[in-house]
């Protein structure tokens, strides 16, 4: 069942999204050579709890951490660890916040130190594809319009769009219907209606679209071990223009 949100519910998600955006900003300010991904996770959890929220991911189907931290060829669901970021890495940080009974979810991929231009372009084009997808999250459009906008843009750059993992509805549950693929055909799929809240999250690989799951049962990596980028916003479908509830504002301030 697809659950359309009332304005009151959207405001509750917006409140979660603000704490989430600020938590991302805290993490962004720590990303540098030598920092462990575990330290990033600890800071995010501390900040979220200090602001009255809970980390959405911690305990989700047995996941033990507050952040999914995915460096280089890890697409998503990477475990925080004692791995120290080094110059040339990229690292995706995916975070969710539960506050007042409602979740928000977003992700951002960072360059660390001196990253080669080819990989910086992957980040830039994946982020751009997120906003192209969001532009299609308007009442009356189809889910395929959203997926096509992302797929068409990144495949023109020669990148691979992951098929096995998709975005999702979000609200009182972290993952709700419908699924939000990052690929599709224009005019196909679910007709979007106002009040639908979606986590839109392109996962784009420098090389092949194919991925593998590691033995831990969580970590998803590119099959060819080339880098992957991941950006995500929580968005409300509206009549004329999609509304983005999450924000990269605090990230961008921290990176200045």
Is 77 one of the annotated binding-site residues?
yes
Is 51 one of the annotated binding-site residues?
no
Is 168 one of the annotated binding-site residues?
yes
Is 214 one of the annotated binding-site residues?
no
Distance CA 53, CA 26 (A): 15
Is 94 one of the annotated binding-site residues?
yes
Let me know the angle formed at the C-alpha of 163 by 188 and 214, rounded to the nearest 5 degrees: 160
The DSSP H or E segment spanning 98 is strand 90-99
| CB proximity list for 239: less than 8 A, separation 6 or greater | 138, 139, 194
Is 201 one of the annotated binding-site residues?
yes
Is 105 one of the annotated binding-site residues?
yes
DSSP helix/strand/coil, 154: helix
Residue that has been written with the tokens 């693929």 in this structure = 181
Q: Where are the beta strands (DSSP E) in 18-61?
A: 54-55
Where is the binding site for a divalent metal cation, in residues?
Answer: 94, 105, 168, 201, 232
Annotated binding site: 77, 94, 105, 168, 175, 201, 232
Which residues belong to the annotated binding site for substrate?
Answer: 77, 175
């Amino acid at each position: 069942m697809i659950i359309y949100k009332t304005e009151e519910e959207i405001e509750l998600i917006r409140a979660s999204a603000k704490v989430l955006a600020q938590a991302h900003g805290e993490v962004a300010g720590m990303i540098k050579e030598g920092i462990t991904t575990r330290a990033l996770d600890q800071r995010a959890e501390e900040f979220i709890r200090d602001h009255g929220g809970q980390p959405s991911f911690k305990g989700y189907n047995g996941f033990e951490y507050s952040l999914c931290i995915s460096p280089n060829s890890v697409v998503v669901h990477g475990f925080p660890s004692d791995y120290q970021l080094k110059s040339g890495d990229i690292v995706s940080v995916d975070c969710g916040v539960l506050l007042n009974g409602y979740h928000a979810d977003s992700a951002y991929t960072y360059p660390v130190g001196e990253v080669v231009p080819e990989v910086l372009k992957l980040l830039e084009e994946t982020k751009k594809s997120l906003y192209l997808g969001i532009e299609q999250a308007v009442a009356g459009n189809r889910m395929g319009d959203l997926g096509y906008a992302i797929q068409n843009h990144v495949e023109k750059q020669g990148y691979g769009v992951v098929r096995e993992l998709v975005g999702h509805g979000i609200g009182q549950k972290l993952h709700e219907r419908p699924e939000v693929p990052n690929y599709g055909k224009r005019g196909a799929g679910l007709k979007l209606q106002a009040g639908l809240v979606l986590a839109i999250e392109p996962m784009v690989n420098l090389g092949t679209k194919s991925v593998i799951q590691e033995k831990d049962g969580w970590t998803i990596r590119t099959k060819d071990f080339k880098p992957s980028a991941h950006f995500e916003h929580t968005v409300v479908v509206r009549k004329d223009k999609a509304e983005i509830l999450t924000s990269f504002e605090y990230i961008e301030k921290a990176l200045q």
